[in-house]
Amino acid sequence: MKLRSTLMAAAALLSFSFASSSTIAQETYTLTLAETWGPNYPILGDTNRSLKAMVEKMSKGRLQIRIDSSNRHKAPFGIFDMVKAGQYDMGHTASYYYKGKLPNTMFFTTVPFGMTAPEQYGWFYFGDGMDLAQKVYEPHNMLSFPGGNTGVQMGGWFREEIKSIEDLQGLKMRTPGFAGEVMSDIGVAVTNIPPGEMYTALERGTIDALEWVGPALDLPMGFHRISKFYYGGWQEPSAELQWLINEDSWNKLPEDLQETLRVAMRTAAYDMYIQTTHMSGEAWSRMQEEHPDVEFRTFPDEVMDALRASTEKLLAEMAEKDPLSREIIESQAEYLQKVRPWTNIADRAYLNNSTIE
Q: Which residues contact 228 (CB under 8 A, 6 or more apart)?
A: 159, 293, 294, 295
Q: What's 28-149+236-290+324-357's CATH class?
A: alpha beta
Q: How many CB atoms lie within 10 A of CB 281?
A: 13
pTM over 0.95: no
* Residue limits of CATH 3.40.190.10 in the chain: 153-235+292-321
DSSP state of 141: T
Nearest to 103 by CA among 331, 314, 334: 314
Burial of 17 (0-12, 13-18, 19+ CB in 10 A): exposed
Nearest to 173 by CA among 218, 227, 224: 227
Distance CA(159)–CA(179), nearest Å, equals: 19
pLDDT value of residue 356: 80
Taken as a whole, the chain contains a residue count of 357
Distance CA(112)–CA(115), nearest Å, equals: 8
pLDDT value of residue 25: 53
pLDDT value of residue 310: 98
Full pLDDT tens readout for the chain, 357 residues = 443 444 344 444 444 444 444 445 579 999 999 999 999 999 999 999 999 999 999 999 999 999 999 999 999 999 999 999 999 999 999 999 999 999 999 999 999 999 999 999 999 999 999 999 999 999 999 999 999 999 999 999 999 999 999 999 999 999 999 999 999 999 999 999 999 999 999 999 999 999 999 999 999 999 999 999 999 999 999 999 999 999 999 999 999 999 999 999 999 999 999 999 999 999 999 999 999 999 999 999 999 999 999 999 999 999 999 999 999 999 999 999 999 999 999 999 999 998 787
* Residue limits of CATH 3.40.190.170 in the chain: 28-149+236-290+324-357
* Dihedral (CA of 156, 92, 241, 133) sign: positive
Residues forming beta bridges with residue 243, ordered by sequence position? 92, 145
Query: E strand or H helix at 242, and its extent?
Result: strand 240-246
Residue type present at position 77: F
Residue type present at position 175: T
Q: Which CATH number fits domain 153-235+292-321: 3.40.190.10, 1.20.210.10, 3.30.300.130, 2.60.120.10?
A: 3.40.190.10
Distance CA(355)–CA(345), nearest Å, equals: 17
Distance CA(170)–CA(297), nearest Å, equals: 20
Helical segments of the chain, H only? 2-25, 44-58, 70-73, 79-84, 117-126, 129-137, 177-185, 198-204, 215-221, 247-252, 255-290, 301-321, 323-343, 349-353
Question: End-to-end CA distance of the chain, in Å?
Answer: 89
CB-hemisphere CA count at 13 Å for 289?
A: 6
Nearest to 213 by CA among 190, 241, 186: 241
